[in-house]
Structure 1
Amino acid sequence: MSHHFKEEPHNAITDSGIARVIPCKELDIGDPLKWLSLGLRDLFRAPLLTVFFGIIFAAIPWFITYLVTLTGWHLVILPAMVCFMLIGPFLAAGLYDVSWELEKGHKPSLWHSVKAIKRNAVNEWGFGIMLMVLMIFWLRVASMIHALYPSYLSDSLEELMPFLALGTVVGAIFTTIVFFLSAFTQPILMERKVDLGTAVLTSVNAVWLNKGPMFIWAAIIFTAVVFGFLTGFIGFIFLMPLIGYGTWHAYIDTIETKRERQYE
């Protein structure tokens, strides 16, 4: 599948002057399926690491749900689901490392994956804090929406509908913003010695200039998350690593390098 190199267009993102923006390639509409198939290949090439990371991914939402059951506040499920999607990119660093090692022709190891987070430590943690701030902000917004919901209404779907609709719209806007901010940020920070501002703006720019393919990719991720929840999180054991590996290949395909990558 051919990628078209194009002159980097000037837009509000590239002209902002906040940080440098690394150029991106123009993607084809079918690229997300290619990333998925490459991710699947990595999944079969590193089955033990896949299951290890997958179990962690499944354990987190299970724990959130367990807390919900303890507190009996079922309305926390939607905010928790979005929180999980927020923490995802940060946890995925280990998975990106597995794909990266396979690409270099190395044998991936757990220790190497765990060390991946330390490669650009200050900016990696900065990214984690940024996601955490967004997560706390989302929880505040969600609790405000919940506060608007009158306590005298019953829990019937009909009466919950306006509340759920508002929560869904706000959640969708929020998730879209986070997708722009974090689609490629983590892999950029892992592979390149750049600051957080450059990584985030590069990610926003790449998603903006490739809205079609990236919308399909976002829909694939969202479907995987929904399917994971519907299977009682069992699906996450395989789906989250698959999305993680796919994201690494998406990054390799999308963000330009000045020189061809040379792997020894």
Structure 2
Amino acid sequence: MPRTAEPNDFKKSKPGEEYARTLPCNKVGYTEPFHWLALGMNDLVRSPIISAFYGICFAAAAVGIVYLVHIQGTHLVILPSLIVYMLIGPFLALGLYDASWQREKNRKPSLTHSIKAITRNSTSQWGFAVLLMVAMIFWMRIAALLHALYPPVEGAGLAEFAPFLIVGSVVGFILATFIFSISVFSMPLMLERRVDMMTAIFTSFNAVKNNAATMLVWTAIICGGVLIGFATYGIGMIITMPILGYGTWHAYHAVIQKKSTPPPY
């Protein structure tokens, strides 16, 4: 038997109780990423043990990818391996975010506390992990379809490779941009404010859209750090990945408006 409607049923929910809302963001200059990078370097120096732990984790994952490519003897495993790396990266970065957050609260960061960060908002965080996994599978299927454009003749010239390279690069850029846009600020948001997954995704996407030039610079810095890591067979990631993780936390605080920040007029 249906219950009788009550006046409270028609009241609007409080802002903090809304689902899938978009939190306001700030507009920041395109030179700000270099400031985030400097702050990340400072955090690296001030938290050597935590930085080394997560840096080694990132490096081990990179070494695993390089080793997999070597034993398989084919470049076809590179894309799936990189996607897996993109999947585990945000969760490793949670510990780095937590360390920066603890320091902002004038507390001494600890490795144990940073590891526990993964359980702070586990429902939303693991839901986001499932979303990334679906995106990963979709990306792999697209890559398999695009492989039909790969030249069947060994030793083919550049002209035969052009369709595969051009289409693959365009599709890869679109998918990578989308995944970066929904994920760059999602994890910090779910960690600090414990928002739901969709709120984190919408807020992150909106922030990237409204700071496209700035985030393009930050993306280039991230790609540079990752390339340095792979070029040094993972060793460089012991340094670069913690810096980028800390820097992303400072980027999050610079771009996403805090609760006490008044809306612009």
**Larger gyration radius, structure 1 or structure 2:** 2
Distance 1:133 1:208 in 2: 23
Distance 2:22 2:205 in 1: 9
Is 1:124 equivalent to 2:160 in the alignment? no
Give the deviation of 1:29 after TM superposition: 1.9
- Residue 201 of structure 2 corresponds to 200
Equivalent pair of 2:149/2:163 in contact (CA under 8 Å): no
- Residue 253 of structure 2 corresponds to 252
Q: Cα deviation per residue 1:102-138 (whole Å; 9 max; x = unaligned)?
A: 2112111111011101111100111111111111211
Q: What are the residue-to-residue correspondences of 1:150-189 with 2, within 5 Å?
A: 150-154=151-155, 159-189=160-190
Under a length normalisation based on structure 1, what TM-score does the superposition of the two structures give? Answer: 0.86
SS at match of 1:24: coil
Q: Cα deviation per residue 1:67-114 (whole Å; 9 max; x = unaligned)?
A: 222222223224433442343223211110111112112111111011
Higher alpha-carbon deviation: 178-187 or 99-108? 99-108
Give the deviation of 1:160 after TM superposition: 4.0
Structure 2: which amino acid aligns with 1:246? G
Q: In the superposition, relative to structure 1, how do residues 50 and 82 fare at CA in structure 2: closer, same or farther (>3 Å)? A: same
Give the deviation of 1:143 after TM superposition: 1.9
Q: Cα deviation per residue 1:29-64 (whole Å; 9 max; x = unaligned)?
A: 221111111110000000111111011101112112
Q: Cα deviation per residue 1:231-251 (whole Å; 9 max; x = unaligned)?
A: 222111111111100000011
Distance 1:158 1:228 in 2: 32
- Residue 142 of structure 2 corresponds to 141
Is 1:66 equivalent to 2:71 in the alignment? no
- Residue 81 of structure 2 corresponds to 80
Q: In the superposition, relative to structure 1, how do residues 253 and 110 fare at CA in structure 2: closer, same or farther (>3 Å)? A: same
Q: In the superposition, relative to structure 1, how do residues 228 and 193 fare at CA in structure 2: closer, same or farther (>3 Å)? A: same
Give the deviation of 1:66 after TM superposition: 1.5
Distance 1:87 1:155 in 2: 36
Structure 1: which amino acid aligns with 2:65? I
Q: In the superposition, relative to structure 1, how do residues 215 and 132 fare at CA in structure 2: closer, same or farther (>3 Å)? A: same
Q: What are the residue-to-residue correspondences of 1:11-22 with 2, within 5 Å?
A: 19-22=20-23
- Residue 216 of structure 2 corresponds to 215
Equivalent pair of 2:87/2:132 in contact (CA under 8 Å): yes
SS at match of 1:92: helix
Equivalent pair of 2:19/2:196 in contact (CA under 8 Å): no
Give the deviation of 1:212 after TM superposition: 1.5
Give the deviation of 1:252 after TM superposition: 0.9
Higher alpha-carbon deviation: 82-91 or 242-251? 82-91
Q: In the superposition, relative to structure 1, how do residues 102 and 247 fare at CA in structure 2: closer, same or farther (>3 Å)? A: same
- Residue 105 of structure 1 corresponds to 106
Give the deviation of 1:176 after TM superposition: 0.4
Distance 2:166 2:77 in 1: 15
SS at match of 1:107: coil
Distance 1:65 1:48 in 2: 26
Higher alpha-carbon deviation: 200-209 or 24-33? 24-33
Equivalent pair of 1:86/1:178 in contact (CA under 8 Å): no
Is 1:114 equivalent to 2:115 in the alignment? yes
- State the number of aligned residues: 244
Under a length normalisation based on structure 2, what TM-score does the superposition of the two structures give? Answer: 0.85
Percentage identity across aligned positions? 51
Structure 2: which amino acid aligns with 1:191? E
Unaligned runs of 5+ in 1: 1-16
Structure 1: which amino acid aligns with 2:175? F
Higher alpha-carbon deviation: 239-248 or 22-31? 22-31
Q: Indicate the RMSD between aligned Cα atoms, in angstroms.
A: 2.0
Distance 1:177 1:87 in 2: 17
SS at match of 2:27: coil
